[in-house]
Chains A and B, each alone.
Chain A
């Protein structure tokens, strides 16, 4: 091995020395767990429709049940194990979002309900909310400008 002179050399060297995450295994697990969560959502949705509810109410019920389930599993210290196994598979569906709100709430409960739970609850989910809402406003404005039909609706 040649002596390392520059920062760039060192970064390349470290890159090559550091073990990579097992991407194929992670992708496979994320795929089937993510698919399973979505299938559960679909089953709930179909059942709601079967019981005669309309699409909007069925959608809401699916979200409520998945969020509730994810929050409950987080409280039981089980969701982090699922997340460790499935990665994005459990993080990308709405279950991951629920987990990212409930976990700091639990973590900071020791600092009190107002400044702890209230103040820190969105430390993980905060960026998603800020940029999600911001993006939706930008898209809304663009839609308003470029879709003449919408102007007549307004």
Chain B
């Protein structure tokens, strides 16, 4: 493990993403990616009394599914890195309390899942663990309740507002394996360009994503065309366009291989989301390169 350039870590024996699992809510199940999820729920409560409890159950079941799929007994998993959008990471800490794996509660908002992968990779590469568990969850209803307005309130969402995904993703990361590998991580800086509109998060986050991407290209000496795919987590339609255009002005053409997970998960034409959305999973202020 060594630091290259300004803010990138390069792994000598890259950790492997051994197995993944995902559970999503009904709206995500209607979207274009439905067939890729392990389980799709029929309602937002999943038999629980509150949205927060439902979210806890979603992350718990997703983690159990990832462990079961990997075939690694949970006693052999050394650490668990997980987080969500709610105060004190309440969904993940309640959801994973019966897991009996040492737990790092992390908060990176939209970048939580990648933050988990970054930290797990460093633990694995440093020899502190052989297997690590990474997970993140979000729930549209619990997030709206905490950050915005009650769902029953009769207000209008502007076209730039995003739709939080209901769902959870989990991955088992191993020290040794056949790939896909995490070979580099580039944690990003906080870049605030003064966007004050809470309903236009894509525009607020795009400058940070751009800064991270450029830092990654400079640190590794690669160009955008080196990659099969460059993905951000949740810039949405507005943020995606802004990122592509701004990258172009800096001399990086990412038009052909760049996409945004928030754009991918819902169908703007068929589903009422009012633009993209935000999902827990995948990266915006961290990029990592997976080689298969």
- If A3-B249, A10-B207 touch, does A17 touch B242 (CB 8 Å cutoff)? yes
A7→B193 contact, CB < 8 A: yes
Residues of A within 8 A of B242 (CB): 13-14, 17
Residues of B near any A CB (own CB < 8 A): 49-52, 145, 149-160, 193-195, 200, 203, 207, 238, 241-242, 245-246, 248-250, 275
Cα distance A40–B111 in the bound complex, in angstroms: 49
Please provide the 5 A-B residue pairs with the shortest distance between their CB atoms, ordered closest to farther.
A83-B154, A103-B152, A107-B150, A110-B50, A103-B150
Interface residues on A, range: 35 or more
CB distance from B207 to the nearest CB of A (A): 7
CB distance from B195 to the nearest CB of A (A): 6
Cα distance A11–B204 in the bound complex, in angstroms: 10
B194→A2 contact, CB < 8 A: no
Residues of B within 8 A of A84 (CB): 154-157
Residues of A within 8 A of B149 (CB): 103, 124
Residue of A nearest to B149 (CB): A124
Residue of B nearest to A81 (CB): B154
Cα distance A2–B275 in the bound complex, in angstroms: 26
A77→B249 contact, CB < 8 A: no
B152→A18 contact, CB < 8 A: no
Known: A3-B250, A80-B151, A103-B150. 7 other contacts (CB 8 A): A4-B246, A19-B160, A81-B154, A83-B153, A84-B154, A99-B154, A103-B151
Residue of A nearest to B152 (CB): A103
Task: State which residues 1-39 of A face B: CB under 8 Å.
Answer: 1-4, 7-8, 10-11, 13-14, 17-21, 26
A7→B151 contact, CB < 8 A: no
Residues of B within 8 A of A79 (CB): 152, 154
Cα distance A104–B152 in the bound complex, in angstroms: 8
Contact of B153 among A19, A80, A86 (CB under 8 A): A80
CB distance from B117 to the nearest CB of A (A): 30
